[in-house]
Amino acid sequence: MNPCLLCMNPISEVASWQSFFGLEKNKTLCADCSKRFIRADIKEEGMDERTALDAVHSLYEYDEAMRDWLHQYKFLQDVALADVFAKELRGAFKNTDVIVPIPMHVERARSRTFSHVETLLDAAKRPYKTFLAKTNAEVMGEKSKQQRLEMEKLFELVPGVKIEPITYRLVDDIYTTGTTLLQAATVLKAAGAARVEAVTLIRSMKK
């Protein structure tokens, strides 16, 4: 039996024809841990016409279980936890989507040793384009909503990137005030994107 990636208890497997033929992917969570996460599917269409972000789809609520997962994955660098939501994240995109992950600042990436958003997309087997570079090394999670809104430019296009007049899909781990996604969308729109939507694994209602 495979151990649960969160509680490390053995995962009980129920025999099925998929597992018999080796078509069923090994589970990453036990039944008890799986039930702790609340699927939300929060979709916001037709965002404020004054902003560059056209729509956002967030998959899960930010509750205690998700807070524990995010801490263990992102800050304790338990990269294996990227597999936990790979199937759900993979299903949030169309095969034709041009996916642009929210990047980390190079200093943060060096200290954390991995890009948490790109690793999630790798686990979900979704190709992406690294069109954006982060210009500010400050940590968004340590700021209030007002402080986030007052921040200077966070992103710029990677040199040599050409943005076409099509739809781009930004991806981030968590959506709180929307400042990060809005600033990234603004850069893409200014460069010629026709529409910018976003997918986030988590939606936080933090003020």
Task: Check pLDDT > 80 for residue 148.
Answer: no
Q: For residue 70, list its beta bridge partners.
A: none
Using one digit for the tens of pLDDT, what is the confidence trace for 124-146? 999 999 999 999 776 655 555 55
Listed in order, the ranges of the chain carrying CATH 3.40.50 are 37-203
How does residue 20 score in pLDDT terms, banded at 50, 70 and 90?
A: very low
CA distance 176 to 140: 10
pTM: 0.84
CATH of domain 37-203: 3.40.50
Q: What is the predicted pLDDT for the residue at 49? A: 61
CA distance 121 to 201: 11
- Eight-state DSSP code of residue 173: E
Using DSSP bridges, classify how beta strands 167-175 and 98-101 pair: parallel, antiparallel or unpaired. Answer: parallel
Strands (E) in 67-153, as ranges, are: 98-101, 132-134
Using one digit for the tens of pLDDT, what is the confidence trace for 93-116? 999 999 999 999 887 767 777 899
Residue 141 φ then ψ, to 5°: -65, -15
